[in-house]
Structure 1
């Protein structure tokens, strides 16, 4: 345990402890950054397989590849059996910008599809360190434009697009909306952002000092490792990584912001909520007790995972555009 950090295990719910026990049985040190990034990806994929079993079945799923600014981008459409309206949600997966894919977050996307009664589209953006920031932001922005241009073909409303993501994907969701706002001025077609335990720019905070370790792969060293692989050493304009250095006073879509109270990144969520609401931007903040970072994955054990997706879905539906 790092110096001065809380013993998070003593603060976890019994079900959270159960989920971590299963996690350890699946892959020892699943989130270690003391290996190559190729091994990090393999460990992550192997650990996530179990958590993606079961869950809602789409009415139909479409896999395709889109030629983007940095090469081919695999995407996946999930159409719900019960659908209300023609809104669509671009889901951007987490994994520190280094690991993760469409399969590692499949169940989260399908649960969100069911709760929102909307089409959910996953994007398999290019990963760091081979592709550095802002590649990923530009790819997500490109795909938003592509979805709007091809909306009729996929039976979605070009003026009712939302973004959702967890961890690094939450960062990319907010960053993409800011990038589109800054480049195109009008983002009124974005219904909302569903942001789960994201990092938005803090490099140190109370929660980072108190939480994070082997159990969630977010020790101080881990956080530095991910940032170095994503950012590199030559970027000066970090407005779409350090979103707090960008203008958050206008042009930000309504945000549902959720985090676990044992997450080292929780202060990012709290600060984002405070800034947005001070400037009269609609936002909802929700804390889930006794759970760690990335708890959305553990929906087969944790009721908090289900509730977080349900509550995000409720927020989304409360902003209905049709």
Structure 2
């Protein structure tokens, strides 16, 4: 099939972001280089996008006990008040790249806009750690914060999850894992930015993805090979979340997709399934931008809009439960 000229469809601001990316770290998203070099390039390109942004009252790095050792976390507190709701942020990067620094400005922005403590999780990356280790680690962090979050000014009874790309997958997978393995650990809200939720093929995967976003078919296959131990993992409801029972234990969801993203249809499918399951949610598709656009709030209006829209959805739930 003839595929569209994706770069001809991006906004002027998105084009400027791509030019800046090239200047910062050419070929930042290539997957055919050594693992450490790929991580180095990704982290280097992200430095510029994380400069500036909201200033927190306190930022605390800590360690949380996990299933295979301590898990680094970073807590951003936007105010001095204690007993605040918490958003646990799970970063994207195909389960292979990314860390607390590469997504720091996103986390600080959500903290400022929601008034909640945002806790980032530096879960173990693949291929060193295979599925479902990251899911189990994220679940361990939620359970720790529920029991001992007061030390970070957190209300352990009001924990939500947010994440982008692979991190959005981890948000939904962690919610389902806690539902199934640790009843009583309910999550209040999910904020899901352009996630991979389990589609192995789709119209958007056929139309979009390339060297501009590092999500060509070969790249998508690479990330899944790194993350999984074999084909059976792809059938797990904690990876193929669209095959899971979504009719119980799934909280209200904010879902943001980018219109030129090969993963766009994952978000559309999730929205349709949540509609069938009567799960409250909001879907918004941001046109003219590429996968990963949330990072680019320094230059891209849609990034700020997506962060604000997700925060507004979350705050609306807070207000409704407070009444």
Asked if these proteins are the same fold (TM beyond 0.5), I'd say: yes
Q: Do the aligned partners of 2:25 and 2:41 also contact (CA within 8 Å) in 1? A: yes
Cα deviation for residue 310 of structure 1 reads 0.4
Corresponding residue for residue 84 of structure 2: 86
CA deviation string 1:241-298 (max 9, x = no partner): 1111211122101100001100110100000001001211001000111000000001
Corresponding residue for residue 197 of structure 2: 200
SS at match of 1:202: coil
SS at match of 1:28: coil
CA–CA separation in structure 2 for the residues paired with 1:258 and 1:129:
27
Corresponding residue for residue 101 of structure 2: 103
Q: Do the aligned partners of 2:149 and 2:155 also contact (CA within 8 Å) in 1? A: yes
Corresponding residue for residue 313 of structure 1: 311
TM-score, structure 2 length as denominator? Answer: 0.96
Cα deviation for residue 67 of structure 1 reads 2.5
Corresponding residue for residue 301 of structure 1: 299
Match status 1:228 vs 2:229:
no
CA deviation string 1:127-167 (max 9, x = no partner): 00000000000000011000011022222111100000000
Change (3 A) 1:169 1:47: same
Q: Do the aligned partners of 1:248 and 1:276 also contact (CA within 8 Å) in 2? A: yes
Corresponding residue for residue 19 of structure 2: 21
Contiguous gaps of at least 5 residues in structure 2: none
Cα deviation for residue 187 of structure 1 reads 4.2
Q: Which runs of 4+ in 1 moved over 4 A?
A: 82-85, 234-237
Cα deviation for residue 85 of structure 1 reads 6.5
Change (3 A) 1:17 1:178: same
Cα deviation for residue 232 of structure 1 reads 2.5
CA–CA separation in structure 1 for the residues paired with 2:261 and 2:214:
11
- Higher share of residues assigned helix: 2
Corresponding residue for residue 46 of structure 1: 44
Change (3 A) 1:13 1:22: same
Cα deviation for residue 81 of structure 1 reads 3.3
Corresponding residue for residue 218 of structure 1: 215
Q: Do the aligned partners of 2:65 and 2:140 also contact (CA within 8 Å) in 1? A: no
CA deviation string 1:61-115 (max 9, x = no partner): 1111122111121100000038696100000000000000000000000011111
SS at match of 2:137: helix
CA–CA separation in structure 1 for the residues paired with 2:110 and 2:284:
17
CA deviation string 1:44-76 (max 9, x = no partner): 000000100000010001111122111121100
CA–CA separation in structure 2 for the residues paired with 1:192 and 1:4:
39
CA–CA separation in structure 2 for the residues paired with 1:31 and 1:83:
40
Corresponding residue for residue 206 of structure 2: 209
Corresponding residue for residue 32 of structure 1: 30
Q: CA RMSD in A?
A: 1.4
CA–CA separation in structure 1 for the residues paired with 2:211 and 2:153:
44
Cα deviation for residue 235 of structure 1 reads 4.2
Change (3 A) 1:284 1:84: farther
Corresponding residue for residue 4 of structure 1: 2
Q: Do the aligned partners of 1:84 and 1:118 also contact (CA within 8 Å) in 2? A: no
SS at match of 1:64: strand
Deviates more, 1:10-19 or 1:67-76: 67-76
Task: Return the match for 1:180 from 178, 181, 186.
Answer: 178
